[in-house]
Structure 1
Amino acid sequence: MEYPIIQAPMAGGASTPMLAATVCNAGGIGFLAAGYKTSDEMRSEIEETQRLTDRPFGVNVFVPSKEVVDEAILSAYREKIQKEAESVGVSVGQAIIDDDDWGSKITTLKELSVAIVSFTFGCPESRIIKELQDAGSLVAISVTNLDEARIAVTAGADILCAQGIEAGGHRASFENQTEGDQGLLELVGMIKKELNVPMIAAGGLMDGKDITAVLAAGAVAAQLGTAFLRCPESGASPAHKAALYDPRFTKTAITRAFSGRRARGLVNRFLAEYDKDAPRAYPYVHHMTKQMRKVAGQKEQPELMALWAGQGYRRSRELPASQLMGKLLEEMRSE
């Protein structure tokens, strides 16, 4: 890449081929998010991105969950949130587990040989990493602590993506539990001290000053997600974009309320009311609340949406992605 700026993969629709390609054409690296999509949908987005740019880009994949959850716990949560779903004219979804079309996605990625394949929620077995590398892809693993970083390097990862506690959206942790949360600069420093592997830094980064800080700490690139949410190329809903500058949303918090997995978002009514009741149950809870969140977005009711955002969300800017890239570079040069 020309510049050490990466547009984060944001599952759920925010990451689009146009956003990824625009960032690539501006000298950074854009990412597509394969999470919650079928293999065919992922392939379609990859091919569209290839039509929009001849520069390298990445694709992020969720490692499947193997959680076993007590049905009684899920039923209890269903009863609590049913009235919220009904308020927008839907029912709570079935509490199911799936592999997010894992096998087909890996096969497709080996065939298409994208520049970077990154993984979240775990580390694939070494065989899969080697097969992707042999197909021409660099493999990046998202990590949230030093133990995960060690596992990823041992498995053969080319790159680590260190995710600090400041990050918006889901925690990338290998296990669905409360890890020892660490700030981004601390995490980058710990990994840099022990492991000799290129590292991307992610977590609440919003401007050129933030990028310069993580590069100085030892990262080779900075990954920004929330910073790109308000770009017109972003697929985030209008309600989500508006919430980032709505004065009623004054802080972020980490919650399991929307998906059963820890994730940082703007504190709205649903998060505040159901955070303590939400079970550790991913992707079961994700499927339970999915339709409610979708329809709430369509009806512009942000109090029932998962408004994923990093801690620096107040510094987000409503700019075309190419202009935002230009601003970030100007800010970096002025440091």
Structure 2
Amino acid sequence: MAMSSALTDLYRYPIVQAPMAGGASCPQLAATVSEAGGLGFLAAGYKTPEAMYEEIKQLRGLTGRHFGVNLFMPQPANADAAAVGAYRARLTGEAAWYETPLGDPDAGSDDAYDAKLAVLLDNPVPVVSFTFGCPTRAVLDAFAKAGTRTIVTVTSPVEAQTAQWAGADAVCVQGVEAGGHQGTYSNDPAVDGMGAGLGLLSLITLVREYVQVPIIAAGGIMRGSQIAAALAAGAVAAQMGTAFLVCPESGANALHKQAMTDPLFGRTELTRAFSGRPARGLVNRFMREHGPHAPAAYPQLHHMTSGLRKAAAKAGDPQGMALWAGQGHRLARELPAARLVEMLAVELDAARAELGLQVQRGAVS
């Protein structure tokens, strides 16, 4: 319980709005979720340190409640240049179709990590989370000294152990159901092949056997009853991205929001097509045509396809966009974020009450 209190004083309800890089997790959404009793998050991924700082200032102007900022870890420069070149050649037709040049795959692999650390240590925020790897103990100790709680995204018990040993305050356990990028420490098809990840409830149970730090559950959660299941399995809160993506406060593209419940996009898959890392999205033309040929090269492919994705959105063509979505996307509700938090809390209470009644009935029988 002492361990859990390291996080539970950050929110009224055990509901964390996932940091969704690419614009969805804007200050308005994060502030609304925090004001409603959850924990809102900004996504610093793909932003400059200056842009990150400006969003933090905007968020602080909207709420005095706790919030978090998510950082991407620097990536090793081990991509196969020949494979990246071959994929670039494959995308020349896309560039011609959308009338936009392909991006430079060598535009950088550290996402300005050190500069963002400096900003966040000079201007501490309540929570900082990390994706695509684990920070050093020195970094996590520095945040602890600054009064910032730290969370590391993990997809296996071994990754969770690494995060605990490094000094993380909590781990965000991400099941294979999750939308967007899988937060694996490595990007090796031989280790983390498509679909090789564990489902959320199994992963929570396994991670609990390995670590003592609090667990935040992420992956396909769309209803309060699912939050209750995650808490019963051992989590202290649930992190939800797809559920909040369709809210009016979300900064996601309107085409992305509409696709969540469009019968044309009936299922999700993991793909490297857009970024070179496994990420779950709605299956569309781009994913079908290019996914089988995409190499494990992140962020090289992200930089290469960034312009294509923006051009597709500008052209009103969701078939060329990265429509990140979790497996529960058809359960998305187009509600104001505060109303969604309220409904999730009511559903959570109802599920807990029903579980209590079932336990009582079992004891009587």
What's the TM-score bracket when you normalise by the shorter of the two chains? Answer: over 0.9
The match for 1:194 is: 210
Aligned residues: 335
CA distance in structure 2 between the aligned counterparts of 1:334 and 1:71, rounded to whole angstroms: 54
The match for 2:57 is: 47
Q: What SS class does the counterpart of residue 276 from structure 1 fall into? A: helix
Residue 89 in structure 1 maps to residue 89 in structure 2? no
Q: What SS class does the counterpart of residue 142 from structure 2 fall into? A: helix
Residue 283 in structure 1 maps to residue 299 in structure 2? yes
* TM-score (norm. length: structure 1): 0.98
CA distance in structure 2 between the aligned counterparts of 1:280 and 1:313, rounded to whole angstroms: 26
Q: Among the aligned pairs, what percent are the same residue?
A: 51
The match for 1:216 is: 232
* TM-score (norm. length: structure 2): 0.90
Does the 8 Å CA contact 2:170/2:216 hold for their aligned counterparts?
yes
Residue 5 in structure 1 maps to residue 21 in structure 2? no
CA distance in structure 1 between the aligned counterparts of 2:82 and 2:243, rounded to whole angstroms: 40
The match for 1:160 is: 171
2:41 alignment partner, one of 1, 7, 31? 31
Does the 8 Å CA contact 2:272/2:291 hold for their aligned counterparts?
yes
CA distance in structure 2 between the aligned counterparts of 1:227 and 1:69, rounded to whole angstroms: 33
The gaps in structure 2 that reach 5 residues or longer are: 1-10, 352-365
Shift of residue 229, structure 1, vs aligned partner: 0.7
Shift of residue 79, structure 1, vs aligned partner: 1.2
1:1-335 map, 5 Å: 1-96=11-106, 97-178=108-189, 179=192, 180-335=196-351
Shift of residue 193, structure 1, vs aligned partner: 2.1
Shift of residue 195, structure 1, vs aligned partner: 1.3
Tell me whether 92-101 or 311-320 shows the greater mean CA deviation.
92-101
Q: What SS class does the counterpart of residue 275 from structure 1 fall into? A: helix
Instruction: Say what the alpha-carbon RMSD is for the aligned residues.
Output: 0.9
Aligned letter for 1:9? P
Aligned letter for 1:161? C
Q: What SS class does the counterpart of residue 108 from structure 1 fall into? A: helix
- CA deviation map 1:243-286 (0-9, x unaligned): 11111111000000000000000000000111110010000000
Aligned letter for 2:27? P
Q: What SS class does the counterpart of residue 292 from structure 2 fall into? A: coil
CA distance in structure 2 between the aligned counterparts of 1:236 and 1:82, rounded to whole angstroms: 27
Aligned letter for 2:171? L
Does the 8 Å CA contact 2:160/2:210 hold for their aligned counterparts?
no
Instruction: Determine which structure has more spread, i.e. the larger CA radius of gyration.
Output: 2
Shift of residue 19, structure 1, vs aligned partner: 0.3
- CA deviation map 1:16-74 (0-9, x unaligned): 00000000000010000000001010000111111111111000000010132232211
Does the 8 Å CA contact 2:77/2:109 hold for their aligned counterparts?
no
- CA deviation map 1:166-225 (0-9, x unaligned): 000000000012424100000100111231111100001001011111011000000000
Q: What SS class does the counterpart of residue 87 from structure 1 fall into? A: helix
CA distance in structure 1 between the aligned counterparts of 2:163 and 2:95, rounded to whole angstroms: 39
The match for 2:354 is: none
Does the 8 Å CA contact 2:221/2:240 hold for their aligned counterparts?
yes
Q: What SS class does the counterpart of residue 91 from structure 2 fall into? A: helix
Aligned letter for 2:179? G
Does the 8 Å CA contact 2:76/2:109 hold for their aligned counterparts?
no
Does the 8 Å CA contact 1:67/1:281 hold for their aligned counterparts?
no
CA distance in structure 1 between the aligned counterparts of 2:40 and 2:80, rounded to whole angstroms: 39
CA distance in structure 2 between the aligned counterparts of 1:33 and 1:277, rounded to whole angstroms: 29
Does the 8 Å CA contact 1:67/1:282 hold for their aligned counterparts?
no
Does the 8 Å CA contact 1:270/1:304 hold for their aligned counterparts?
yes
Does the 8 Å CA contact 1:244/1:316 hold for their aligned counterparts?
yes
